[in-house]
Amino acid sequence: MGLILKAENIKGGYELGSAFLKAVDGCSLYVNEGEIMGLAGESGCGKSTFAKLVMGYAKPPLKFTDGRSIIDGVDVYGLPWKDRRARLWGRVVAMIPQASMNALNPTKKIKDLILDVFKEKYPHSPSKEEVMKKATNRFEEIGLDSRVLNMYPIELSGGMRQRVVIAISTLLNPSLLIADEPTSALDVSTQKLLLELLYTLVRRSIVKALLFISHDIATLRQICNKMCIMYAGKVVEIGCTEDVIRKPLHPYTQGLINSVISLDPSARNTVLTGIPGSPPNLLNPPPGCRFHPRCPHATPICREREPPLLEVKKGTYVACWLYVS
């Protein structure tokens, strides 16, 4: 099983006048072929920024400052911006953006959008017939009627538009697909269909691996093999999904799991606690562990020194002084 994503010590943030907001501060992540990796955490913890930095899409005010990202053997930051557009995005890595339902040009038919993608990615674009044949096949593979190709985005429902964006994103069979909160604007039934579709993309090897970003752990749990939890620009825990859900190690992960409402009859009489306090301001993060002001187990060392991300058992990594012997 090959390594599809190797992101090491990625750092970057936003230039806000004279200040610099460190949205991602030394995050590393590895995704193997055939894996679906879930990236979870609260809003503003740096999930989407991390994904953009991993694929080399650092457009001002976002700035990449350090680290290395290799996707299916391609060194992302070894390519100049122009080459990333031509050779990387869409072909090696593709992203389904957060507001992907609004990502389609309303004045163009779906087939014209697809032709545009091919024109941009290939200097000698294949013939229109070839492109349409490929598009028809992909649409059928993911359960979309090929008549959709002749429609305008306004003629499609939210769920259909989301599927069209996925079809277009995967037309060139990218090695890594990044789905950034693809289900958040959809109702539960459409959400379920979309999860099945994403799962199928990996199972049928249409994409080699998937990085699925969401703040909803119950949604991630449905299709992810592994999970990575972020807090305030840092990776705090990585492990296989079952372990993260059943035996979360980091106090933040524990708080996050305990905040999920279970549809169990006994849950109605219990009072969930949530996590008291608010996430830190990343312009001025607290010293030591960034979670310590909200952590029920904080000790003096947590307030002074940042915990390293250590492997505590095979495949499980956690950044917490509680686990440093």
Partner 1 sequence: MPSQSLIETKNLTKIFRTGFLGRGEEVVAVKDVSFTIGKGEIVSLIGESGSGKTTTARLILKLLKPTSGHIYYAGNDIWDIPDKEYWRNVQAVFQDPYASFNAFYKVDRTLKNVFKLFPNKISNEEKDKRIREVLEDIGLNPKEVLGKRPFELSGGQMQRLLLARCLLVDPQVIIADEPTSMIDASMRVIVLNTLRRLSRKEGKSIIFITHDISQAFYISDRILVMYRGKIVESGSVDQILFNPRHPYTKRLISDVPKLHEKFAFTETEN
CA dist 278 and 276 (Å) reads: 7
The answer to the question of residue 19 lying near partner 1 (CB under 8 A) is: no
Torsion, CA 80, CA 82, CA 87, CA 90, rounded to 10: 120
Please, which of residues 23-82 interact with partner 1 by CB under 8 A? 36, 42-44
CA dist 276 and 192 (Å) reads: 31
**Identity of the residue, 105 or 270, whose beta carbon is nearer to partner 1 in the bound complex:** 270
The answer to the question of residue 1 lying near partner 1 (CB under 8 A) is: no
**Among 16, 19, 99, 261, which residue sits at the site for partner 1 (rule: CB under 8 A)?**
261
Question: Which tokens hold the place of 75?
Answer: 């060194």
Q: At what angle do helices 110-121 and 128-141 cross, to 10 degrees?
A: 120
Question: Which tokens hold the place of 312?
Answer: 């505590």
The answer to the question of residue 279 lying near partner 1 (CB under 8 A) is: yes
Structural element, H or E, at residue 21: strand 19-32
Please, which of residues 199-258 interact with partner 1 by CB under 8 A? 199-200, 203-204, 215-219, 221-223, 225, 245, 255-257
SS3 state of residue 302: helix
The answer to the question of residue 262 lying near partner 1 (CB under 8 A) is: yes
For partner 1, which stretch binds (CB under 8 A), given 6-14, 53-61, 148-156, 184-192? Answer: 184-192
**Identity of the residue, 8 or 216, whose beta carbon is nearer to partner 1 in the bound complex:** 216
**Phi, psi values for residue 8, rounded to 5°:** -120, 125
- Contact residues toward partner 1 (CB under 8 A) are 36, 42-44, 187-189, 191-192, 195-196, 199-200, 203-204, 215-219, 221-223, 225, 245, 255-257, 259-263, 265, 267-268, 271-276, 278-279
